[in-house]
Structure 1
Amino acid sequence: MSEQYAALLDMLDTVAQALGEDLCQQVAFVGGCTTVLLVTDEVTLEDLRFTDDVDLVIQLSGYAGWPKLMEQLRRRGFMESPFDEVNCRMRLGELKVDFMPSDEAILGYSNLWFDEGFHHAQLHYLPSGAQIRVFSPPYFLGTKFEAYKGRGSGDALNSKDIEDIFNLVDGREELINEVRGSSDQLRSYLREHLVDLINNRDFAYVVQSATRGDLAREKIIFGRLKQMVKEGN
């Protein structure tokens, strides 16, 4: 496998080892780093986007749980950096690790799909044997579309969130069945945002960029996106 593939796995493993078994079961991994566990096509795995951070969702019982979590993390080697403007971010050596509460009231922001996605997280084993909980593919898509809506400004061509979405669509054949089996609310949400994406003026260029001009892969992405739109009806 590629160096990027190995690096992404190592990032997840490093964070899992630092958290320990107890905290690992209290968080769910999400974000671009988890594509290394969700993509099943070997060709796509070779060309995943590198990211320099690891994102985790955690459920806390009110704001009082936040300083307690921070103290637990400091004891396990995580630390705040004065150079980070993101108030959910900790550092583990050079790694950026974002701990995002599912409750918006705690830090003033969240994601529509954090709570539901947390409860539907799936177990994955890392090379070290560590076991982590990861947002399932349909909820991964939901969180990515929600993030794109908040920070993408409609610029699909330069959006890392859209790049991650295309990597998953391109590299996971079973995604259609997984979307079909998800909740009505999530299917409807995905349909709405997939239609918006397909109608984006840069859509064709985004697909070409994601596949590096591979016409066969472009056809796969177009076909799967249209199938997922149908599943949302």
Structure 2
Amino acid sequence: MVIRLITAPVFVATKFEAFADRGNNDYLFSHDLGDLISVIDGRDELMAECRQLDDELKDYLRDWVGRLLATPAFLEALPGHLPGDAASQARLPDLEDKLRLLAKLD
């Protein structure tokens, strides 16, 4: 048996592709957005991993995250991708900061 692994940044990119294909701009109920938000929220080393990517993938991630951050419906839905308890919702500003950093990825 062969098990193929992908890096977290590549996983995030595949989720953007899936959202573009089947997400229907449903920012709240898209499982693909939920998956990528979980990775961005929960993987502390993601930014360091993204900085090591080739320029083409960096540009792709930067473009996608930038477009999401410029979409009011995405920003309104973002709290819905975190658990509803107060501690989880308190992470929202940190999640938004991570997204802004991804949008400026160099």
Band of TM-score, shorter chain: 0.7 to 0.9
> 1:11-26 to 2 correspondence within 5 Å?
20=1, 24=2
The 3-state SS of whatever aligns with 1:202 is helix
Which residue of structure 1 lines up, in the alignment, with residue 101 of structure 2? 227
Distance 1:221 1:227 in 2: 10
1:157 maps to 2:14: no
> Which of residues 152, 165, 173 is equivalent to 2:44?
173
The one of 195, 199, 218 equivalent to 2:66 is 195
Query: For residues 110-129 of structure 1, what are the structure 2 equivalents within 5 Å?
Result: none
**Larger fraction in helix:** 2
Deviations 1:113-168 (A, max 9, x none): xxxxxxxxxxxxxxxxxxx3311011101111011111112221121110001000
RCO greater where, 1 or 2, for CA within 8 Å and sep 6 or more? Answer: 2
Equivalent of residue 18 in structure 2, options 143, 147, 158: 147
Distance in 2 between the 1:228 and 1:192 partners?
A: 9
Q: Which runs of 5+ in 2 are unaligned?
A: none
> d(CA) in 1 for partners of 2:21 and 2:55?
23
Name the count of aligned residue pairs. 103
State the TM-score, normalized to the length of structure 2.
Answer: 0.87
Q: Which has the larger radius of gyration?
A: 1
Where 2:4 maps in the other structure, the secondary structure is strand
Gaps of 5+ in 1: 1-19, 25-131
SS at match of 2:24: coil
Contact 2:28 2:81 in 1 (8 A): no
Q: RMSD between aligned alpha carbons?
A: 1.4
